[in-house]
C-alpha cells in the first residue's frame, strides 16, 4: 500500500499524563490569615529546599512568602497591607515587578513610582527610592547584585550602580520587554521595530546599544537564558489562518548575535503560549492557554505536550522557577503549583509521520514501518487532553480508524511494547 506523507511540516511528540507519567501538578498550601490566593510576581529558589516568593493582591499591596520544603507549603511572613486590621480604603500601591537577589535583598517595583528594597531577615525593614517616570507603570526590574540593576517602563531604561540611591535614564524610543543583566554585566532586552523583533544588547552599561534581528513579522513574548551565550526567545507571528496564531522558538548560542529557528509553529486553534523558561541546556518548559504545557528534554529540538491539571481552565500569568528536581509555577489568583521534572528523554518515544489523509473527514490511516505488528491500546485526545477514543486494536502493517469527531486538532497514542504518537486534523 502506498504511503502518503503527512502534509504538516512538523509532527510533535505528544505526551498525556495518563500514558506518560502518573505525576500530577500539586497545589501548594499557602498558610496565611486570609482567604484566597495572591497574584504571584516572582519565585526564587535559594537552595536546600528554601524558596522566596513576592506577590500582590487586591487587599494587600505586597506579600512576602517563604518555603523550606521545595515549595510544597508556604508561609506569608510579611504583608504591607492587611485588609482585616485596616479600614477598607483603596489600596494605595500595587506591586508590578520584583527581583530577588539573595536572602538579604528583595527589590520590588511599585506602581506608585517607588522602588523598595526589603530584607528577608527583617521584612519590616526597607529602603525606599523614588523614581521619576512617565505615565507608564514599571514592567520589569532585574538586579545583578545589590547595587547594579535595571528597571523599565514602556520605552525607558533606568540603570543604577548603587542600589537605586541614584540612577541614569535612557530613553530609547522603542518598546522594551524582558530586560535583564547578564553575568558579564551586559544589559539586554527584546523589542519590536519595523515589523520585526530584535534582541538588544548594551556592553557598556547603557551608553551604546546594538540591535540583532531575530525574525520578521513577529510579536515578542518571552526569553530565557541559561548562560550569557545560550538562550531562547518565544515569539508570535502577526498573521495566522483564522483564529490560529503561530508561535516560534528561536535559539542563540553566541549571546544573541545570531538566532536559529527551532520550532516554526505550535499551530493550535485558540491557543496562546505566554511564557518559556529553561533549566539547563536540555530541559525547558512553555505554558499557555487552556492549561497546555510544552516541555523539551533535548534543548528544544522536540517538544512534548501535557496538561496542567489545575482547578481553573483560564490562561494564567505564569511565574516559573526550578528547584533541583521540581518545577514551581506561580499563577494569578490560582495559587502556587509544583510537579517533579520529568526524567524521561525524547529518545524513549517514537515519532510517526505517516498518518493520512491529514486533514481527514471520516477516517484516517496509521501506517509506519517502525510499528511492529501486534496488539496496541489506541487513545485519541483533543487539544485540552480530553480522551475521545480508547480501544484495543490489532496492528498488521497499518490500521484504519473510522471515527466521528468535531473539526479541530487531535493527538493519538498507540501504546504497546513501545509508544507511538502523532497529530491529526479533522476537517468539515
Q: Which three cell numbers stand for residue 250?
A: 528561536
Instruction: For residue 111, give the nearest of 126, 93, 91 by alpha carbon.
Output: 93
Describe the strand order of the beta sheet including 156-160 as a list of residue ranges.
140-143, 149-152, 156-160, 168-171
User: Does position 91 have pLDDT exceeding 70, yes or no?
Assistant: no
Q: Is the pLDDT of residue 351 over 60?
A: no
User: Which is higher by pLDDT, 209 or 423?
Assistant: 209
Enter the pTM of the model.
0.72
CA atoms within 13 A on the CB side of 26: 14
- pLDDT score recorded for residue 212: 96
- Given a contact cutoff of 8 angstroms between Cβ atoms, the answer to whether 71 and 323 are in contact is yes
Instruction: Give every CB contact of residue 245 below 8 A, 6+ residues apart in sequence.
Output: 236, 237, 271, 272
In this predicted model, which residue has the larger pLDDT, 38 or 243? 38
Q: Calculate what percentage of the chain has a pLDDT beyond 90.
A: 31
Domains of the chain: 17-345 (2.130.10.10), 350-426 (2.60.40.3080)
The percentage of the chain sitting over the pLDDT mark of 70, rounded to a whole number, equals 76
Confidence check: pLDDT of 307 > 90: no
* pLDDT at residue 35 is higher than 70: no
Q: Across the chain, what does the average pLDDT equal?
A: 79
Which tens digits make up the pLDDT trace of 230-282?
A: 999 988 877 654 444 567 889 999 999 999 988 765 544 335 667 889 999 88
> What beta strand segments (E) does 114-242 contain?
114-118, 126-130, 140-143, 149-152, 156-160, 168-171, 177-181, 187-193, 196-202, 210-216, 218-225, 231-237
The whole-number pLDDT of residue 44 equals: 94
**Residue 367 near residue 1 (C-beta atoms within 8 A):** yes
Amino acid 266: pLDDT: 55
CA distance 274 to 271: 10
What's residue 262's pLDDT? 82
> For residue 64, what pLDDT is reported?
87
Q: What is the mean pLDDT of residues 316-321?
A: 77
Q: Is the Cα torsion angle 133, 136, 137, 140 positive or negative in sign? A: negative
> Rounded to an integer, what distance in angstroms lies between the CA atom of residue 247 and that of residue 273?
7
Query: Which helix H or strand E contains 291, and what residues bound it?
Result: none
Residue 214, pLDDT above cutoff 70: yes
Instruction: State the average pLDDT over residues 198-215.
Output: 94
Q: In what order do the strands lie in the sheet with 187-193?
A: 177-181, 187-193, 196-202, 210-216
Please say if the pLDDT value at position 324 is more than 50.
yes
pLDDT tops 80 at residue 398? yes
More confident residue, 346 or 252: 252
Least confident of 14-23, 105-114, 251-260, 391-400: 14-23
pLDDT at 73 over 60: yes
In this predicted structure, what is the pLDDT of residue 194? 84
Amino acid at each position: 500500500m502506498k504511503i502518503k506523507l503527512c502534509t504538516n511540516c512538523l509532527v510533535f511528540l505528544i505526551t498525556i499524563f495518563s500514558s506518560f507519567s502518573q505525576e500530577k501538578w500539586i497545589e501548594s498550601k499557602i498558610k496565611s490569615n486570609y482567604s484566597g490566593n495572591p497574584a504571584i510576581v516572582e519565585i526564587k529558589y535559594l537552595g536546600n529546599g528554601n524558596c522566596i516568593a513576592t506577590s500582590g493582591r487586591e487587599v494587600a499591596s505586597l506579600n512576602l512568602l517563604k518555603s523550606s520544603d521545595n515549595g510544597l507549603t508556604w508561609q506569608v511572613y510579611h504583608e504591607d497591607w492587611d485588609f482585616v486590621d485596616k479600614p477598607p480604603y483603596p489600596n494605595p500601591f500595587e506591586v508590578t515587578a520584583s527581583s530577588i537577589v539573595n536572602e538579604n535583598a528583595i527589590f520590588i517595583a511599585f506602581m506608585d513610582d517607588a522602588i523598595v528594597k526589603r530584607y528577608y531577615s527583617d521584612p519590616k525593614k526597607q529602603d525606599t527610592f523614588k523614581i521619576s517616570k512617565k505615565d507608564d507603570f514599571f514592567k520589569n526590574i532585574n538586579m545583578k547584585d545589590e547595587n547594579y540593576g535595571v528597571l523599565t517602563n514602556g520605552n525607558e531604561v533606568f540603570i543604577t550602580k548603587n542600589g537605586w540611591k541614584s540612577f541614569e535614564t535612557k530613553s530609547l524610543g522603542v518598546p522594551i520587554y524582558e530586560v535583564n543583566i547578564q553575568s558579564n554585566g551586559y544589559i539586554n532586552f527584546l523589542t519590536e521595530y519595523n515589523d520585526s523583533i530584535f534582541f538588544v544588547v548594551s556592553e557598556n552599561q547603557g551608553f551604546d546599544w546594538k540591535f540583532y534581528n531575530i525574525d520578521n513579522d513577529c510579536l515578542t513574548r518571552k526569553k530565557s537564558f541559561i548562560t550569557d551565550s545560550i538562550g531562547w526567545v518565544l515569539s508570535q507571528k502577526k498573521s495566522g489562518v483564522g483564529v490560529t496564531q503561530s508561535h516560534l522558538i528561536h535559539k542563540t548560542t553566541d549571546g544573541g548575535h545570531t538566532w536559529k529557528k527551532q520550532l516554526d509553529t505550535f499551530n493550535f486553534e485558540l491557543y496562546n503560549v505566554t511564557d518559556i523558561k529553561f533549566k539547563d541546556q536540555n530541559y525547558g518548559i512553555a505554558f499557555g492557554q487552556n492549561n497546555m504545557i510544552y516541555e523539551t528534554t533535548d534543548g528544544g529540538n522536540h517538544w512534548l505536550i501535557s496538561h496542567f491539571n489545575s482547578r481553573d481552565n483560564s490562561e494564567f500569568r505564569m511565574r516559573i522557577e526550578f528547584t533541583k528536581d521540581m518545577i514551581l509555577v506561580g499563577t494569578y489568583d490560582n495559587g502556587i503549583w509544583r510537579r517533579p521534572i520529568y526524567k524521561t528523554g525524547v529518545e524513549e518515544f517514537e515519532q510517526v509521520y505517516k498518518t493520512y489523509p491529514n486533514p481527514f473527514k471520516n477516517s484516517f490511516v496509521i501506517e509506519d514501518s517502525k510499528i511492529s505488528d501486534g496488539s496496541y491500546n489506541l487513545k485519541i485526545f483533543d487539544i485540552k487532553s480530553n480522551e475521545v477514543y480508547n480501544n484495543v486494536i490489532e496492528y498488521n502493517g497499518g490500521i484504519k480508524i473510522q471515527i466521528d469527531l468535531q473539526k479541530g486538532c487531535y493527538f493519538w497514542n498507540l501504546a504497546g511494547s513501545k509508544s507511538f504518537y502523532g497529530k491529526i486534523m479533522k476537517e468539515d
